[in-house]
Amino acid sequence: MNIDRLVILGVGLIGGSLALALKRAAVVTHVVGWSRREQTLLKALELGVIDQAETEISKAVQGADLVVAAVPVGAMEALFKRIAPHLEEQTIITDAGSTKGSVVEAARRAFGKLPSCFVPGHPIAGVEQSGVEAAFADLYRGRRVILTPTPESDYTAVARVRAMWEQCGAKVMEMDVAHHDEVLAATSHLPHLLAYSLVDTLARMDESEEIFQFAAGGFRDFTRIASSDPQMWHDICLANRDALLVMLERFSGDLTQLTEAVRNGDGEYLKQAFLRAKQARDRFCG
Ligand code: NAP
């Protein structure tokens, strides 16, 4: 495949890493970047992530083959509204947002209907750093990308977006929008919320200075993702609120049972729960 003019809207970790990976694979001729702040665009140019910086979004998308929206999910609708009047017939649009129901609804509202050239997507890859400085070409190698085409999505547009991610070394699969949001609520959104919550609880204790001094490997492993961008996770938790609430209620019920087991000295309950968890983690995470 070759992409003549790739446009990245939001040149941060995800959009920047995509541009770098496609450049390295030599499948893109020209990368145009648009971002909210000019300093981001200057940095992206300096790092060789993009070839051209555009501060006017109408100019950025002009003549584009592929447009990738890589801004926080809460900013997608406003972005789609801004590009809607300027899209040309040949242009394919995809996104990298962590929630899919909210992005599809944002597109429906912004474009008036779901365009056939729109293929929603989500790379299951990331690190806790954000911004274009954190972008690297290998981010997607061996990682999964989930596409959630809508009934309106054109077959050839889906194939192009799939090929784009495969060129980054990713394994691409397709999923129904609602199912994507349920699965990600369980595997990503709930864990992030729990990590933030634990660190916040400890940070607000009077002895927090001392507690953090003694935080060792286990604490660091469990809470690494609490260093992720708060604005991004604020957007995700609200955008996927229904599916996240289902998981939070389920988890709260299990936590209450564990609390009761600790209170009652029910070692057998604890051992069985820990054993099930260890076996599951060893099987799935190797
Ligand atoms: P990031 O590194 O913080 O980059 C975000 C980009 O969006 C920046 O270019 C920023 O522009 C721009 N932006 C921020 N707020 C905006 C707003 N209100 N309006 C317009 N543009 C705005 O974030 P990221 O990690 O690349 O995440 C981008 C998308 O990928 C998000 O939808 C996220 O859910 C999704 N995603 C993230 C991960 C992850 O682990 N990080 C994984 C998979 C998917 P300026 O720099 O110019 O301010």
pLDDT at 234 over 90: yes
Tell whether 246 and 111 lie within a shared domain: no
- Binned at pLDDT 50, 70 and 90, residue 172 comes out as very high
Q: Could you say which of 150, 175, 200 is where a domain stops? A: 175
- Total number of domains in the chain: 2
Nearest ligand 1 atom to the CA of 236 is 34
Tokens 């944002």 belong to 106
Tell whether 157 and 195 lie within a shared domain: no
Among 145, 139, 10, smallest CA distance to 70 is for: 10
pLDDT at 213: 84
Tell whether 149 and 50 lie within a shared domain: yes
The reply to whether ligand 1 has any atom less than 6 angstroms from the CB of 101 is no
In one-letter notation, the amino acid at residue 130 is S
Tell whether 103 and 34 lie within a shared domain: yes
pTM, entire model? 0.95
Tell whether 41 and 161 lie within a shared domain: yes
Nearest ligand 1 atom to the CA of 37 is 47
Tell whether 13 and 55 lie within a shared domain: yes
The reply to whether ligand 1 has any atom less than 6 angstroms from the CB of 121 is no
Residue 261 sits in a domain whose CATH number is: 1.10.3660.10
Q: Could you say which of 140, 175, 210 is where a domain stops? A: 175
How far out from the chain centre does Cα 176 lie? Answer: 17
Tell me the per-residue pLDDT of 197-218, one tens digit each, with 9 for 90 and over.
Answer: 999 999 999 888 888 888 888 8
The reply to whether ligand 1 has any atom less than 6 angstroms from the CB of 73 is yes
Domain that residue 271 falls in: 179-285
DSSP 8-state code for residue 12 = S
Q: How far is CA 56 from CA 29, 52, 86, in A?
A: 21, 12, 11
* Residue ranges of E strands in 56-192: 66-69, 92-95, 118-119, 121-124, 144-147, 171-174
Residue to mutate (ligand 1; options 8, 35, 225; most atoms within 8 A of CB)? 35
Nearest ligand 1 atom to the CA of 131 is 2
Q: Could you say which of 126, 146, 175 is where a domain stops? A: 175
